[in-house]
A and B are shown apart, each in its own frame.
Chain A
């Protein structure tokens, strides 16, 4: 059976987990191509106007896949850790997209607050495989996820580089710029118009949450008076504080226009950046964002950093 996985949303966080699991269970996988103009247009067309850009993009990736596969895989992401959640939109997404789709949709509930047993049961039900088999495949999948995370962190790679098996270890440099944002914005180079390579071409060294030790992020996130209950925002917030600790030259925070959770931590981040005197550039992306405008703002920001510490 051919199963389609959209290269959108949590793909950038969990890709090896799902691909190892599903292949282990005997599915043939089709992953949608990197986001392009056609996918963006499909998504914007299908998704409701009020949805944020990443959600629209996901509609687009599903649409690009639906004719090519027997079924699509989009889990209902609720929680990956006790006392945390994903954005409510990710919880509702399978119900939002399902009626529009030409292919069947597999959307197991991923709610790790309820423990792994329940996850296995969910996967086994939606994928129609025995629990034993799922448990075993899940074990492999988790190990490959961990290897992936470790590789990104140790070699300072982006998810796509780690997946492609890039082994070039990035050298730390003085000219570090902290990048903040959901992985689906940071690493989708169509949406952010090649931000990471743009920085590298100018001789800056991009640092992201995925390249930091998780313990450090967690320790930093715990500095807030109240723990954030969104795990992704906790990671962004924790890495923001870590970047300030590491004394990066500057910070770029990419978020989607009208993103709910980001609006909350955005304020906390900008207050902290101001306090520590670290320059912060906030970029909001939506389907109307033009390349020219984005680049002008980036250039101006980088020029300013350059002037502050000409190295």
Chain B
């Protein structure tokens, strides 16, 4: 059995650790590329969301490399993610791809389905290996997030353009190779040091990144927006992280727990219902960003994403009501790099202009 799974940002680092520690052979899809996207879009429904298309491209490329078993998460709606696996499985079958497609459904009160999927995947694995794998995977997931967070802080302050991105790539590579808890901890400790030590300047502006989870977490799908903004001197705060996603989507539902919804309170008056995906969080985090005096918010959403369309149609009002500038970017396979960069630059210019005006405004006030 050669197992593969779709990429989502750095998900491969913890996932591979889990599966390999458990004793499975893993075939990673090649890093997501233009080719992946082209392959996926060619065979996916035109109006499917971007993540579904990229997933499909990942599978096809992994199958080329000899993978024969795909694993994927399921879901209970209302957003499309919960049905991705079903559609992807049928598409692969119609393309004549012969493979096992295991979908891990969150057990809504019924553990049988999940248990049997687990048995199929881990048949022949030693429980101790699985446990160890889970522990290391969790540590790696947290490490990935921690380092990323520091890199977002460091990049707009870096002395040498591009240095932060180089360091983080190297650190992720090391993390990927590490297989002991002690080593993981050391990589994080030293990594933070290294990232921080090369950061001297001050960021020009502070932007919060909100939106649909996949395109927020996956730099390929968002055209490396965090790097681009960082290198324009903008500090980016991300509201969603992988380890948090694991807790919210895989761990809590398994035990039928729900995340406490702080967002409802924040978004209240603008959006009064959780509309699936991260729609409500997008609105809530935009409000929060305004209260925390960020300079602006960038909303990332796949084209045709229902929850984010709801959010996007409400954000202009949040922007006015809370006094914060918002840029919404809908992404799909036709999104061009040049157009995106132009829009980002224009947005950042506007934020800087607003900053100056605010400062001057204060100046005049204190003068009078």
Asked if residues B48 and A229 are in contact (CB atoms below 8 Å), the reply is: no
Complex Cα distance, B276 from A306, in Å, reads 44
**Which residues 216-262 of A sit at the B interface, judged by CB distance below 8 A?**
224-226, 228-230, 257-262
Asked if residues A91 and B108 are in contact (CB atoms below 8 Å), the reply is: no
Complex Cα distance, B275 from A92, in Å, reads 6
Q: Which chain A positions have C-beta within 8 A of B273?
A: 76, 78, 91-92, 95, 109
Q: Is A106 close to B, CB under 8 A?
A: no
Q: Which chain B positions have C-beta within 8 A of A228?
A: 83
A6 CB to closest chain B CB (Å) equals: 17
Asked if residues A260 and B80 are in contact (CB atoms below 8 Å), the reply is: yes
Q: Which chain B positions have C-beta within 8 A of A226?
A: 74, 83, 86, 103, 105
The number of A-B residue pairs with CB atoms under 8 Å apart is 117
Complex Cα distance, B44 from A87, in Å, reads 20
Asked if residues A91 and B78 are in contact (CB atoms below 8 Å), the reply is: yes
Q: Which chain B positions have C-beta within 8 A of A165?
A: none
Asked if residues A271 and B305 are in contact (CB atoms below 8 Å), the reply is: no
Asked if residues A230 and B306 are in contact (CB atoms below 8 Å), the reply is: no
A48's partner among B47, B108, B312 (CB-CB below 8 A) is: B312
**Interface 9-residue window, one of B61-69, B87-95, B132-140, B284-292:** B87-95
B265 CB to closest chain A CB (Å) equals: 15
Asked if residues A260 and B77 are in contact (CB atoms below 8 Å), the reply is: no
Asked if residues B47 and A262 are in contact (CB atoms below 8 Å), the reply is: yes
Most buried by A among B82, B310, B311: B310
Asked if residues A263 and B313 are in contact (CB atoms below 8 Å), the reply is: no
Q: Is A128 close to B, CB under 8 A?
A: no
Q: Is B331 close to A, CB under 8 A?
A: no
Q: Which chain A positions have C-beta within 8 A of B91?
A: 267, 271
B277's partner among A86, A88, A225 (CB-CB below 8 A) is: A88
Complex Cα distance, B279 from A1, in Å, reads 35
Q: Which chain A positions have C-beta within 8 A of B304?
A: 258-260, 263
Q: Which chain B positions have C-beta within 8 A of A89?
A: 275, 306, 309-310
* Extra pairs beyond A99-B317, A229-B82 (6, CB < 8 Å): A50-B309, A86-B78, A95-B314, A258-B304, A268-B86, A271-B91
Binding site for B on A (CB under 8 A): 47-48, 50-51, 76, 78, 83-89, 91-96, 99, 109, 224-226, 228-230, 257-264, 266-268, 271
Closest 7 CB pairs of A and B: A229-B77, A92-B310, A85-B78, A263-B47, A48-B313, A88-B306, A88-B276
CB<8 Å pairs between A and B, sample of 30: A48-B313, A78-B273, A85-B78, A86-B78, A87-B78, A88-B79, A88-B275, A91-B276, A91-B310, A92-B273, A92-B307, A92-B314, A95-B270, A95-B310, A96-B310, A99-B317, A229-B77, A258-B47, A259-B47, A260-B49, A260-B80, A260-B304, A260-B305, A263-B48, A263-B49, A264-B45, A264-B80, A266-B47, A267-B45, A267-B91
Binding site for A on B (CB under 8 A): 44-49, 74, 76-80, 82-83, 86-87, 90-91, 94, 103, 105, 108, 270-273, 275-277, 279, 303-307, 309-314, 317, 330
